[in-house]
């Protein structure tokens, strides 16, 4: 029984670290880029709002309310900082023009024009739709230093960002597909997105 628990724990650690251990195509083409982040890099390298545990998010619900609003998988990833298995999200292969929104709140997060094929198995983007669309937090779990990315509307977990992406930013926002909703250009957005944009019309995206 103890060995089974140890194997399960190891599997979780490997999955959580997987995105950072699978460098993008851009990194493979550029030697000498380090994967880990440090405090000295914060304002120079990454696009987003740096925040600590006191950051106030405009959309707030109790964890019980989140559970009632999200599927089990969505809750695990968005609210419990989980990670989906690589190459399992249909959004990994999206090539249409459109916008990626937060599956937690409907907040606009990424334009499809910034999506690129990273080869890691997760939807990857080189920049968010706005500089304040995502919040960045230092993540020192599992014996490594990474930069966690959450939506700036609710603090819901999206993935991590790494300094091994393509030009023009050199960044790779490695996102869980479960954390995102994709709406192609010309398609009717779901109610969640409509409601969010009614509350925050200044964030309405354009293509």
Per-residue pLDDT of the chain (207 residues; tens, 9 = 90+): 544 444 444 444 445 455 654 544 444 333 333 344 444 455 578 999 998 888 999 999 999 999 999 999 999 999 999 999 999 999 999 999 999 999 999 999 999 999 999 999 999 999 999 999 999 998 888 788 899 999 999 999 999 999 999 999 999 999 999 999 999 999 999 999 999 999 999 999 998
Q: What pLDDT score was predicted for residue 207?
A: 85
* Catalytic residue selected from 174, 175, 181, 197: 174
pTM for this predicted structure: 0.83
Is 145 buried (19+), middle (13-18) or exposed (0-12) by CB count in 10 A?
Answer: middle
Write the CB contacts of 49 (distance below 8 Å, at least 6 apart in sequence): 55, 131, 132, 134, 135, 136, 152
What CA–CA distance (Å, rounded) separates 71 from 75?
6
pLDDT 10s digits, 61-82: 999 999 999 999 999 999 999 9
Q: Is 19 a catalytic residue?
A: no
- Tell me which residue has tokens 């779901």: 190
Q: What pLDDT score was predicted for residue 111?
A: 98
pLDDT 10s digits, 162-188: 999 999 999 999 999 999 999 999 999
CA of residue 161 relative to chain centroid, distance: 8
What CA–CA distance (Å, rounded) separates 57 from 4?
39
Please list the residues that pair with 181 across neighbouring strands: 101
Among 60, 92, 81, which Cα is nearest to 159's? 81
């Amino acid at each position: 029984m103890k060995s089974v628990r140890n194997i399960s724990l190891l599997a979780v650690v490997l999955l959580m670290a997987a995105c950072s251990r699978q460098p993008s195509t851009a990194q493979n083409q550029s030697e000498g880029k380090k994967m880990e982040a440090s405090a000295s890099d914060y304002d120079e390298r990454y696009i987003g709002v740096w925040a600590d545990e006191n950051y106030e998010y405009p959309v707030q619900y109790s964890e019980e309310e989140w559970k009632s609003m999200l599927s089990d998988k969505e809750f695990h990833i968005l609210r419990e900082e989980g990670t989906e298995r690589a190459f399992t999200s249909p959004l990994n292969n999206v090539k249409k023009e459109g916008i990626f929104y937060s599956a937690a709140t409907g907040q606009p997060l990424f334009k499809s024009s910034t999506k690129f094929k990273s080869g890691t198995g997760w939807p990857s983007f080189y920049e968010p739709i706005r500089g304040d669309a995502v919040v960045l937090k230092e993540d020192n779990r599992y014996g490594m230093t990474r930069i966690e990315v959450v939506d700036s509307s609710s603090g819901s977990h999206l993935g991590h960002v790494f300094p091994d992406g393509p030009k023009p930013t050199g960044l790779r926002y490695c996102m869980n597909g479960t954390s995102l909703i994709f709406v192609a250009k010309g398609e009717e957005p779901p109610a969640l997105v409509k409601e969010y944009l009614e509350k925050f019309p200044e964030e309405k995206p354009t293509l």
